[in-house]
Structure 1
Amino acid sequence: MEWVANNLTTVLSLIGTGVFAGLLAGLLGVGGGIVIVPVLYFLFQALGVSADTAMVVATATSLATIVPTSVSSIRAHHSKGNVDFALLKAWAFFILIGVLAGSVIVTRIDGNYLTILFGVIATLSALNMLIGKKDALFSSLPGKIGQRVIATAIGLFSSLVGIGGGTLTVPTLTFCNYPAHRAVGTAAAVGLIISLPAALTLLVAGNTPTDAPPGTYGFVNLIGFICIVPLTVLFAPLGAALAAKLDAAMLKKVFAVVLIITGLRMLVQAAL
C-alpha cells in the first residue's frame, strides 16, 4: 500500500489504460495490444525507464493482459458460433512456432528494433482502417503451405510487438474472402494461442532489466497487469453498448488518425 501511495499517478495511469483499451475493444473491435503497448511505452519512459526497456516491458505486459481478455472474448464469440475451430486446428502449431521464435527474439533483441516494428505495424493497421478496401483481395485462403506461412508470420510478428490475434488475423482473413464475423471470433482464439505461451516465456525466461519499472518480473510488469486487466474486461461490454448508439465508423477513423500519429512518433523516436 505504501508503494501505491507513493506512485499514485502511475497506478491511476495504468488503470486509465485498462479503461481506454476496454472501451476501444468493445466500441471498435480493436485489439487491446495496439492501445496498451504505446501507452505503456510512453508511460514507462515518463517514469525514467529507458526507451529500450520500456518497449520490451510494454510488449510483454501487453501480451500478459491479452490472456484473460481473449478467454472472455472467445466465450462470447463461441456462443454465437463465430469461432472456426477447424481453421484453428490447422493453424495452431504454426502460430505457436512463430510465437516461440518471437518470444526468444524479444529476450535478445534491442528494444529499439521492436519499437520500429510496432510503429510500422501500427501505421499500416491504421491506414487499413482509413482507406482499406472492403472487398476481398483473394477468392479464398491459400493452400496448406500458404496458410502455414501466414500462421507462423502472425505468431511471430504479434509476439514481437505485444499484440493479440485481431490486428493481423482479421485483415488477413477478410482479405481472403473470409466472413468478417467469423474472422473476428477466430482471431480472438488466435490471440490466446499467441499471448499465453509468449507471456509465460517472457515472464520466466526474461532477465529483468536493471531500470525496469517496479513490479516487473522477467519482462512482465505485474502491477500493470493487475491494474489493466480488470478494467479492460469491465469496460469492453460498455464499449460494445456505446457502439450501438454512436457513429462507430467515424470514431474508428479518428482512432486510426491517432494511431498513425502514435506509430510515426514511435518511429521517429526510434530513429533519433
Structure 2
Amino acid sequence: MIELLYFLLLGVFSGTIAGLLGLGGGIILVPSLIWIFQNGLNIHQEKLMHMTIATSMTTIVFTAIFSIYAHQKRKAIHWRAFKKLLIGMILGTLLGVFVASHLSSSFLKITFAFFLLIVALQIEFLGNPKAEKKFPGYLLSNIFGFFIGNLSALVGIGGGSLIVPLLLWFRVPIRNAIATSAACGLPIALSGAIGFIILGYKNSVNQSSGYVYWPAVFAIVPASLIFVPLGVKLAHRLPVEILKRIFAIFLIVISIKMLIGEFL
C-alpha cells in the first residue's frame, strides 16, 4: 500500500514539473522509480533499470496522448516535422530496446546518470539553440529521429529534451516545438513499451507484463495529468529562470548520487 502512495506522489511531482518547466517524463520518473523499485518492491538488481525504463516509457504513452489532444486543440503541432521524424524514431527506439535488454542494469543506470548531467548543463548554461537552418528532408530527419529514439529507449524518456532543441535549431517556433515534441513522445514511448513487454516476457513478475509494472503506470498517470495544469499555472506566477536553475542543480545531485552508488 505504501508503494501506491509513492507512485501517486511521483505522479503529482512529475505532472507539476512538466507543466512548470516543460520537462518531466522520464527525467523525473526514472530516478524516482529506481528508488521505489529498489527499496519498496525489492526488484532484483539485475533487472532494476530494465523495469524502470519500461515502466517510465509506458507511463509516457498515456501522458503523450493527453498532451497531443491539448496541443492539437491549439493547432500547435508541426505535423510535417513529425512525419519526417516518425520512421527513424520508431526504428531507433526498437533497436534501443533490443540493445537495452542485453545491457546490464548497472550500465543503463550510468548511461542515465550522464544523460541527466547533460540535460542539467543544457538547462543551466546553453538555453535554447539559435535558429540557423531550415527543416531537413526525410533522410536526414529520419537519421535524427533514429538517434533520438535510440537514446530515449536506453534512458527511458519520451525524447522531449532532445527533440525540442532540434526543432528550435531548425527554426520551428518554441510553442510548436514543445507541441511537436509531445506528439513525438507517443511513437517513441509506445514502440518502447511494446518492445520491453515482448523482450522482457520471461522476466515478468507479479502485476507486470514483461518489464512493465502496471500498478505504477495506473497510479502515476492520473495523478500526473491532474497536476499538469497546476504546474502551468505556477509557471505564470513564479520566477521560472530561478526554478530552472534549482531543477538543474537537483538533476546534477541525482546524477552524482547515482554515479557514486555505482562506482563506489
TM-score by length of 2: 0.93
Q: How does 1:225-240 map to 2 (within 5 A)?
A: 225-240=217-232
Report the secondary structure of 1:138's partner residue.
Answer: coil
- Of 195, 208, 218, 1:201 maps to 195
For 1:181-224, what per-residue CA distance to the aligned partner results, in whole angstroms no more than 9, with x for missing partners? Answer: 111000001100101111122123314548x6x53321001111
Report the secondary structure of 1:120's partner residue.
Answer: helix
- Of 213, 223, 231, 1:221 maps to 213
- Percent identical among aligned pairs is 33
Query: 1:49 deviation in Å?
Result: 2.8
Report the secondary structure of 1:49's partner residue.
Answer: coil
Q: Report what 2:97 is aligned to.
A: 103
Query: 1:118 deviation in Å?
Result: 0.9
The residue type paired with residue 38 of structure 1 is P
Query: 1:74 deviation in Å?
Result: 0.8
Say whether 1:32 aligns with 2:25.
yes
Gaps of 5+ in 1: 1-7
Q: Report what 2:119 is aligned to.
A: 125
- Closer, same or farther: CA 61–143 of 1 in aligned 2, 3 Å: same
Say whether 1:13 aligns with 2:6.
yes
Counterpart contact for 1:207–1:219, Cα < 8 Å: yes
Counterpart contact for 2:129–2:165, Cα < 8 Å: no
Say whether 1:248 aligns with 2:213.
no
Say whether 1:41 aligns with 2:37.
no
Q: Report what 1:3 is aligned to.
A: none
Q: How does 1:250-265 map to 2 (within 5 A)?
A: 250-265=242-257
Query: 1:144 deviation in Å?
Result: 4.1
What is the Cα-based RMSD across aligned positions, in Å? 1.8
- Closer, same or farther: CA 168–60 of 1 in aligned 2, 3 Å: same
Say whether 1:113 aligns with 2:107.
yes
Counterpart contact for 1:18–1:232, Cα < 8 Å: yes
Gaps of 5+ in 2: none
For 1:47-66, what per-residue CA distance to the aligned partner results, in whole angstroms no more than 9, with x for missing partners? Answer: 33344422111100000000
After the TM superposition, which of the residue ranges 82-91 and 103-112 deviates more from structure 2?
A: 103-112
The residue type paired with residue 227 of structure 1 is A
Superposed structure 1 runs of 4+ greater than 4 Å apart: none
Q: CA separation in 2, counterparts of 1:107 and 1:270?
A: 19
After the TM superposition, which of the residue ranges 80-89 and 172-181 deviates more from structure 2?
A: 172-181
Q: Report what 1:78 is aligned to.
A: 72
Query: 1:177 deviation in Å?
Result: 3.2
Q: How does 1:100-179 map to 2 (within 5 A)?
A: 100-136=94-130, 138-179=132-173
Counterpart contact for 2:84–2:137, Cα < 8 Å: no
Q: CA separation in 1, counterparts of 2:197 and 2:113?
A: 24
TM-score by length of 1: 0.90
Q: CA separation in 2, counterparts of 1:224 and 1:193?
A: 21
Q: CA separation in 2, counterparts of 1:190 and 1:267?
A: 30
The residue type paired with residue 32 of structure 1 is G
Counterpart contact for 1:40–1:54, Cα < 8 Å: no
The residue type paired with residue 263 of structure 1 is S
